[in-house]
Amino acid sequence: MGSDMYGFLPLFNKIQEYTWGSYRDIAGLLGLPVPSPVPQAELWMGAHPKAPSEVFLRGERVPLNAVIERDPSGVLGAWAAKRFSGELPFLFKVLAAASPLSIQAHPDLDQARRGFERENKKNIPVDAYDRSYRDQNHKPEILCALTEFWTMSGFRPFNRMLEILDVMTLRSIGREIKAFKKRPDTSGLKTFFHSLLSLPKDRVASLGREALKWAGSVAGETDAFFEPIKRWVGRIGTRYPSDIGILSPALLNLVLLKPGEAMYTPAGVLHAYLEGCGIELMANSDNVLRGGLTDKFIDIPELLRTVRYEPASSIQVATIEREQGETLYDTPADEFILSKITLKKSKPYKSVSKRSVEILLCTHGSCSYTTLDGEYEHALKKGESVLVCSSMPEYEIQGDAVLFKAFVPLPEDTASL
């Protein structure tokens, strides 16, 4: 099948149903009945073998990974096909969280390859409950808020952590806090964090009761700094009263992203999404190392080897404004760039002439996209997405809409950021 078969490929995407998902956000985006019958957590757009998007080719629906396998250069572009071994290197998602996700970190590329090989040698099935590495890839990711989005990301400064722990008066872990005070640095934090994840169940239960009692107290309730920490300790503790993750709002940066704001998470950064709907773009991986707040497999030893123990320096992603209403989110990933396109009827968007594969998702309004030679035209409305093959000529988008674009950066793209 040659590249002349490809152009704009409307995508048929799969919804992942997890308990923390929303009954409203994804259904509302897709124009489905609200509330949905079950919680809908993620809408996947891409070619990950777990849940590949499908496209229509010659009258049949074909998984996107199979389409790319038939002609990598035609879909991805020659450079991207060679650079990423003939695979779409990113996974594009809509993520809708009605309650907190697991506390987690992602491995770097070398760790992912070694972990995947190690678990293969143990003959652990790829889809097994107790499998940590489901593929060989790392998972840097960006999340851009569609609604107000609460998240935790990276450790707080050491003095801030100790200040919060002092106010919480957690006698159940008094020894561990005292040791951390003596070494308020990365080494001390590593020891403290290891000790927390090694606590016996009875001490975790005691810690949970103390933390919930503090969260429900009236002392300091009007304090703007402590109020969100109390609120999230309370919400997490109500759902997971005997989980060490109840302490995470005290240790990690609590971040409220406003619509359009984004956060980037590289390998080793401890984080957890709490509540909200957003656009998520990541390397094409499903590798997650969990430490709490979940019924899924928790791999404490591997998580402890992965986590970075220095405080987070910068959390929100800087943006670069380009012409035609396009905003680029400046991230260092080799596999992807995310941009937001705000269309006005009087100002169409024109693509660049040299580009790799792209996925466009419409989150508001409607528009039409057409090639500049006039040979192809199609409408795109809220909730719909389309893959733009690299072999397509230049195109233009017209309408009144908001689009998010995921694409593989060419060398000249990264040089301009």
Question: CATH number, domain at 353?
Answer: 2.60.120.10
Beta bridge partners of 385: 361
Do 228 and 344 fall within a single domain? no
Long-range contact list for 248-251, CB < 8 A, 24+ apart?
Answer: 248/103, 248/152, 248/272, 248/292, 248/293, 249/152, 250/156, 250/161, 250/164, 250/165, 250/168, 251/155, 251/156, 251/161, 251/193
Tell me whether residue 175 is in a domain. Answer: yes
* Least confident stretch, 4-8, 10-14, 56-60, 254-258: 4-8
> Three-class SS of residue 211?
helix
Domain termination site, one of 315, 340, 373: 315
pLDDT value for 58:
83
Do 301 and 325 fall within a single domain? no
Beta bridge partners of 289: 105
Our count of domains for the chain comes to 2
Do 327 and 281 fall within a single domain? no
Do 189 and 212 fall within a single domain? yes
Do 208 and 243 fall within a single domain? yes
CATH number at residue 285: 1.10.441.10
Do 306 and 329 fall within a single domain? no
Beta bridge partners of 366: 381, 400
For the chain, percent of residues with pLDDT exceeding 70: 96
CA-CA-CA-CA dihedral for 319, 323, 325, 330, to nearest 10: -20
Tell me whether residue 95 is in a domain. Answer: no
Tell me whether residue 119 is in a domain. Answer: yes
Tell me whether residue 87 is in a domain. Answer: no
Structural domain span for residue 197: 100-315
Domain termination site, one of 315, 330, 347: 315
Residue corresponding to tokens 């919930």: 212
Q: How distant, in Å, are the alpha carbons of 6, 139, 166, 269, 309 from that of 163?
A: 58, 33, 5, 22, 18
Do 202 and 337 fall within a single domain? no
φ, ψ for residue 350 (rounded to 5)? Answer: -115, 135
Checking DSSP bridges between strand 358-371 and strand 377-381, what pairing results, if any?
antiparallel
Tell me whether residue 105 is in a domain. Answer: yes
E-strand stretches of 293-389: 319-321, 326-329, 337-343, 349-350, 358-371, 377-381, 385-388
Q: Which two tokens stand for residue 115?
A: 């972990």
pLDDT tops 90 at residue 108: yes
pTM (two decimals) = 0.93
For the chain, percent of residues with pLDDT exceeding 90: 85
Tens digits of per-residue pLDDT, 272-288? 999 999 999 999 998 99
pLDDT value for 220:
55
pLDDT value for 417:
52
Do 336 and 307 fall within a single domain? no
More confident position, 34 or 392:
34
Do 140 and 261 fall within a single domain? yes
> Three-class SS of residue 291?
strand
- The catalytic residue positions are 290
Domain termination site, one of 315, 342, 357: 315
pLDDT tops 70 at residue 413: no
Do 206 and 191 fall within a single domain? yes
pLDDT tops 80 at residue 314: no
Residues whose CB is less than 8 angstroms from the CB of residue 392 and which lie 6 or more positions away in sequence, other chains included: 6, 7, 8, 371, 376
Tell me whether residue 53 is in a domain. Answer: no
Rounded-to-integer distance, Cα 287 and Cα 190, Å: 22
Secondary structure element (H or E) that encloses residue 203, with its range: helix 201-215
pLDDT tops 50 at residue 3: no
Long-range contact list for 183-191, CB < 8 A, 24+ apart?
Answer: 184/158, 184/159, 185/158, 186/309, 186/310, 187/309, 188/158, 189/155, 189/158, 189/161, 189/309, 190/309
